Amino acid sequence: MEYIVEMIFWVVLAVVLGLLGSSRREEKKVDPDKTVMRYGPSMRYGLYMIGILIGGMFGVFGAMAIRDRAHEAEPGLILLILLGVLAGIFFLVCGYILYARHVFFDEEELIVGRPFKSMLHVKWQEVSRMECKGNRLLLYGADGRRLLCANAVLENFDLFSDMAKRMCSARMPKKDSWQDGQRVMTRRTAAVAMFCLAGLLFIFFAVSLLIGKYDFREVFTSGEQAFMPVMLAAGAAALFYGVVLFAEKIRYTKEEITFYRLSGKKNFLWRNLKKIRREEQGSSGVQKLCLTWEGKEYVVSKAKYQAQYEEFLDFIIDVALERDVPISGL
């Protein structure tokens, strides 16, 4: 019976948060002719899922432990339960923040969603300045206050960027995006997220070890603390994956490109590029570029390098035209 109650609790919580994470409520309140720019559902629901798992696990099992008076023998157990529940709430709040930061726009105005605040209505004429920093687009009001910051990971960012440049091109300072003659594509944001998750799991493991006064070897030999080895293994896996993501990057200049991986790096000259192919990957429609050197394809996926992909795509098109490289899928 207890397991059925736990399952019902998590299912109900997941359904409620799924409804909260949907933007349809806001879409019904806004003119349907407006386009919405927002974070993809995978990012929002990923944070919700982590929050549900952590908060639900510590909340449900913690309540059972308190019911069985386990906290009387281990007073620190209550602190551990509170830390776990707060961590779950933290991830849920982060998911809500991503959900709330959506923007409705058309050729007349912007409606900017703000977490924990009412929506901000802005006419395009009220935008005093626009800046493009890499693949981020920033709009400022007449008082110099930043109205919004949009980046390439948002759905419909391309449509918003084209409209913003058309409406505010005269208010956009010209900047050269090449730094020291090169551009770099990284996965630092995903790596930092993995490092934070690993750190959180390691902290929970250490706190559980100290509060329970367990010997480190007992954790792996006793079946009573089976969740602790799983927590440690998950933290180690997240840490390793974060290192892999941090090491993975692409650096390119107007003469060459270098692919960096944890196992090493590979360098190629643009003049040796044989073929360019652009395609959409699977049913999700994720775009990727396949570049061929020496008979082997190297893939650059938009899912991996969302913030810099469009800039790289524009550069690749220029390379194809300048060097007469066969290109398909464009």
What CATH number did the domain enclosing 154 receive?
A: 2.30.29
CB 160 within 8 A of CB 147: no
268 occurs within a structural domain: yes
My answer on whether 131 and 149 are in the same domain is yes
Single out the residue in 171, 190, 223 at which a domain terminates. Answer: 171
CB 161 within 8 A of CB 150: yes
Task: Flag whether 227 is in a domain.
Answer: yes
H or E element that contains 185: strand 183-186
Sites in the chain below the pLDDT cut of 50: none
Query: What does the pLDDT read at residue 238?
Result: 92
CB 85, CB 204: distance < 8 Å: no
Distance CA 170, CA 129 (A): 9
Of 86, 174, 182, 164, the C-alpha closest to 127 is 164
Tell which of 196, 229, 247 closes a domain.
247
The number of folded domains in the chain is: 3
Q: Whole-angstrom Cα distance, residue 125 to residue 171?
A: 11
- 0.75 exceeded by the pTM? no
The answer to whether the CB of 137 falls within 8 A of the CB of 151 is yes
Q: Which helix (H) or strand (E) holds 54?
A: helix 41-67
148-180 residue pLDDT tens? 888 877 888 888 988 888 888 665 555 556 777
Residue 269, Cβ density class (10 Å: 0-12 exposed, 13-18 middle, ≥19 buried): exposed
The pLDDT of residue 23 is 54
Residue 242 placed within a domain? yes
Query: Would you say residue 23 lies in a domain?
Result: no
| Residues in Cβ contact with 230 at an 8 Å cutoff, skipping those fewer than 6 apart | none
Do 254 and 322 belong to one domain? yes
The residue out of 247, 281, 308 marking a domain boundary is 247
Q: Which domain holds residue 296?
A: 248-328
18 domain residue, yes or no: no
Please tell me what DSSP assigns to residue 182. Answer: B
- Considering the domain architecture, whether residues 204 and 266 belong to the same structural domain is answered as no
> Do both 202 and 233 map to the same domain?
yes
pLDDT tens-digit profile of 213-270? Answer: 666 666 666 655 666 777 788 889 999 999 999 999 999 999 999 999 998 999 999 9
Q: 46 in a domain, yes or no?
A: no
- Mark whether 259 and 310 lie in a shared domain: yes
Asked whether residue 37 is domain-assigned, the answer is no
Residues across the chain = 330
253 lies in the same domain as 235? no
Q: Domain for residue 128, yes or no?
A: yes
Look up residue 60 and give its two tokens: 């449900």
